[in-house]
Amino acid sequence: MGAVSAVEPLSIGRVLWANSLVLMLVSVIALFSILLPDSYFSLANAQMISSTNAVLALLALAAVIPLVSGQFDMSIGFTLALSQSICAGLIIHSGVPPLIAGAVVLLIGMVIGLVNGLLVARAGLNAFITTLATGIVVQGFAQLYTGGASVFGRMPPLFLAWGRDRLLGVPLPLIYVLVVSTAMWAILRYTDWGRRCYAIGGNAKAARLIGIPVERMTVQVFVASGALAALAGILSTSILGSANPNIGLNYLLPAFAAVFLGAAPTGPGRFNAWGTVVAVYALAAGIGGLQQLGAAFYVEQFFNGGALLLAVALARWMAVRAAATR
């Protein structure tokens, strides 16, 4: 009986910790629904939060694939800004059909990822510094293209509908996020390509010794990351109907905060799609509630940073506790 009693609390604790992000999301929603029953606990508020944070969720997913493979892609926020700017510019100023503009932007995002991948995999440069440098260059291109000013004007109603309409009451941007995260989860979990990504992230040298083409796959993950960042830029343009070439950093840091928070319950370095999406919306739900209570605009930075620090500290504590019980 003593052995059973010792195991049960630990098992319950592990189950609670494994589902802590979902519990956090539910708790935040419940708390602010009680405090703000008229404004927060409403379908309109839920639709607004799920729609406006879909761009951040897609960008966070763009960061997941390189991190799974043991790499950082710090250029994704700047790729989003360039993609948004070019997409808006092509549609508004050049009269390019939205589908063609979107295809061009996706190609540009993939080229940026290809450059990052070649510099990291072939030239052997540090991913964090290299992608930060390419990101700054990308921001320069965005400012060159737009003259440093916002891009706005008349857009086709159909293009705006892609980012603003709903399907059975569910905002289309949320549906896009669910589709992308489901596909990413399935690829990383059930395909050889996904398992190889995790193997490279765990130990690149060992992965190379067992025949995994580490350099080629590293290029591929950066291309995928660039494509997703560009997709986030297209969606942002569709939602806003305009573009801002200087928004890269505004999205970059919250995206990485969500990714690391999403990995905390499964252990340091266990980056995953579903945890990332839940983390994005848990943080968004909390920030939205605080702002409705009258908190200042900078509460977002405190909330994101504080939640990430807490997650890392708890993950470390859980790892130390698990090691002590072995």
Q: Distance between alpha carbon 244 and the CA centroid of its chain, in Å?
A: 19
Residue given tokens 């200087």 in the structure block: 246
Per-residue pLDDT of the chain (326 residues; tens, 9 = 90+): 444 444 445 567 667 666 778 888 888 889 988 888 888 888 888 888 888 899 999 999 999 999 999 999 999 999 999 999 999 999 999 999 999 999 999 999 999 999 999 999 999 899 999 999 999 999 999 999 999 888 888 999 999 999 999 998 899 999 999 999 999 999 999 999 999 999 998 888 899 989 999 999 999 999 999 999 999 999 999 999 999 999 888 898 889 888 988 887 776 568 889 989 999 999 898 888 888 888 877 788 887 788 778 767 766 776 666 666 65
Range list of β-strands (E), the chain: 151-152, 166-167, 170-171, 242-243
Q: From residue 71, how far is each of 116, 219, 287 by CA, in Å?
A: 11, 11, 29
Q: For position 5, what pLDDT does the model report? A: 47
| Strand pairing category for 166-167 and 170-171 | antiparallel
Secondary structure of the chain: what % helix, strand, coil (to 5)?
Answer: 80, 0, 20
Q: From residue 310, how far is each of 62, 168, 253, 279, 315 by CA, in Å?
A: 23, 37, 16, 13, 8
Query: If DSSP codes are grouped into helix, strand and coil, which group holds residue 211?
Result: coil
Q: For position 325, what pLDDT does the model report? A: 63
Torsion, Cα 182 251 18 64, to 10 degrees, reads: 50
Tokens of 288: 């939205």
Q: For position 326, what pLDDT does the model report? A: 59
Tokens of 117: 């991948």
Range list of β-strands (E), 239-302: 242-243
pTM here?
0.89
Tokens of 141: 């291109």
Tokens of 76: 């994704």
Q: From residue 89, how far is each of 59, 81, 100, 129 by CA, in Å?
A: 21, 12, 13, 30
Asked if 200 and 218 touch (Cβ cutoff 8 Å), the reply is yes
Q: For position 268, what pLDDT does the model report? A: 58
Q: How does DSSP classify residue 41?
A: S
Q: How does DSSP classify residue 37?
A: T
Q: Which residues contact 58 (CB under 8 A, 6 or more apart)?
A: 176, 177, 180, 228, 231, 232, 235
Q: From residue 87, how far is each of 54, 82, 148, 247, 284 by CA, in Å?
A: 18, 8, 15, 15, 26
Asked if 109 and 80 touch (Cβ cutoff 8 Å), the reply is no
Instruction: Output the CA angle 199-205-211, nearest 5 degrees.
Output: 70
Exposed/middle/buried for residue 111 (C-beta within 10 Å: 0-12, 13-18, 19+): middle
Sketch out the chain's domains with CATH numbers.
21-324 (1.10.3470)
Q: Which residues contact 121 (CB under 8 A, 6 or more apart)?
A: 214, 215, 216, 218, 219
